[in-house]
Structure 1
Amino acid sequence: MKIKKLIQALPAFVMLTSTGVLANNGYVNFPYPTVISATPSANTQTLSSTEYWEVVRGDELKTGVAISFTGNKSVVLLSPQYSHDMNGQKRAPAVAENAIELHTLQGKASLSATYNRDEMSGYGFAPGSAAVQANKLAGQNATLRLNQKISDDDLYLLHVKESDSPYQLNVESNVMVQEEAALVLHADVTGAKNIKPKLAIQVSAPDGQSIPYHFTNDKLAFDAPLEHVGAREGMYNVVVHSHSMVNGLEVKRSVRLPFVHQRESASVITYSLSEQTAKHVTANVSLNVSQEGRYGVVATLMGYRDGKQIALATSEAAQDFSTSETLPIRFTLPKGATGPYQVNILELKDQTRLQRFVQNELVTQ
């Protein structure tokens, strides 16, 4: 939902930047159409899952992979993966849809090739993948087999989605992790009362490298410094797999959570007011820059109208910095606005490394 709102806001952003003032240092300044009193400072994300995924071998699919069903409409997806042997890299054979079999105590289950494809969109239907829907198997344990010619060392990604299951993995974690700080991560399974799930966690860098860690008391601490700063090269990923036993059923769930590793590269020191007219006020914001790059500041001008102090206008300015200097931010005043004025710094943006630092502070002159 947040991504959708961001995409919707981009045309307005482009329109506003096109009306800004440009200089040799790439300076741009534009007013916001609405006044912002504060930038949301929440640094948490909560993701929920009624699905899981795991890699299975060909010999396992021949003998049977155990699946516990907790919903009556469960989609089972198999995707061929790459593996290495003495001859180099190889890819498992494509999956024939009619070769996927589920066996329960009552015998071979009836499977449907019709399922809600919207629910499975974005799930990585690689070439050679096949999916089926298992209906009315809630509360049953089953065995998954692939009845076709495959090698024992072939690898497949098994993905099971149970949209109507009462058991849902909920994971809350940080969106941004400051340098040398731990990632706070809490997980529980809805519907599994008084049962704490067993967790298996994988952490990877934007380049796919695995990150060593230790996890205690809902804190995931990294055993080595995180090298990638900001989101310019991509985001770090945490994959959480949970395992719970509920009423004789093995409830598995998986979820993927991205986060950004941040390191302070600049900070706001103070500001001074220069231009003050009936229509405009300009604040010169001093930045202490420790790393060369392009920085932007979102700020709101506080002042008075009808004798009450209110937020008058919000503007954003940005420019290239090679050293510490000031960034002018020009505000357009509404009618009837008067001083004395104060500047509320909402957000500092490192546009080079794609970092954002929420401020929400009245900076002193």
Structure 2
Amino acid sequence: MKKSIIYLFLLGLATLSACDDSEPDVEPNDDNFPFRLVLDAEEGAALPDEEDYGLEVKFADYIGELPHQQVNLTYAFTDTEGSFVDNVSISKVTYKVEDGDCEYERELPFVESTIILIVDEDLGTVPEEFEIEFALPGADDTEGGFTFEITELTSQADVLLNQAATFEYEVLENDVAGAWVLDLNSEDEFEAFKSVLGAINEDLTNLSFADITGAVSLEFEFEEMKIEVELQNPEIEEVCEEGEIEQEETHLEIEGEYEAEEGELEIGGDHIITDDGVEEELEYLITASYTINGEELEITFYQIIDEDQYEEGDELFTSESGITFTFIKD
């Protein structure tokens, strides 16, 4: 009987070990775990005329101090297609350092096939994260894509490269991609706008027509979208960069992830509800359709639901015929 129990116990350990080996999550670093560098994304895209694109690389969760030794990263561009054949490169590699309330950008050295992660004299370690900026063709008729891969990491420090060290880039080709604008010229138009999107943004619900300028911007990027409602009296935030203090206006924003294909549009994201004075973050899903006529984008909203606690009849917004807004290409 004891042998059976021991056998089952060892089998369980082996099973758990196998599960751990296949688990992509990175364990925090301690004395028994090396540091691990990871790419912040595995794929990306932008409009054809984009001239540059940034990819973040950072250390996964760790305990203690970052390495005090230089790290060399060997990289390569592969699978270049279309306009990117012999026409994509790294323009700069940067990281940021905070000094008091101000943020400063510094550059890392790189050569044709190697990025050198040096020890910053103020940090005393290598930077926790940095951004690789790619120089793109930037023409209106750009097509194709490329693959960027970090092929090797060398250092005297105990640092490993995450298994997924490849980034794929392509030109963003979906038909809603880009920037659009909407003018809300009357209180009725604004109330219609609030009746839809106010369901996922309490701040929007609390605004009156006198609080806004009427300008609404909509931007579709790679997998992500943002709506910004311009306010008459926006909050002013002071930001310090490179030793200079600048004032930035903060307008009302709604962000989410989207899928747009063959006239059907879905947008999902987070929204905050207040229940008995306690804020709770939930997931919303918008169902809509769209048509494009030249420089005009018509979006018709049919339904918004709360994915976390949805039952039929509990829609945050619903309209069988839909409510339509016409955006103009910016």
| Same structural fold, with TM-score higher than 0.5 when normalized by the shorter chain | no
Structure number having the greater helix percentage: 2
Which of the five TM-score ranges fits, normalised by the shorter chain? 0.3 to 0.5
TM-score normalised by L of structure 2 = 0.33
**Larger RCO (alpha carbons 8 Å, 6+ apart):** 1
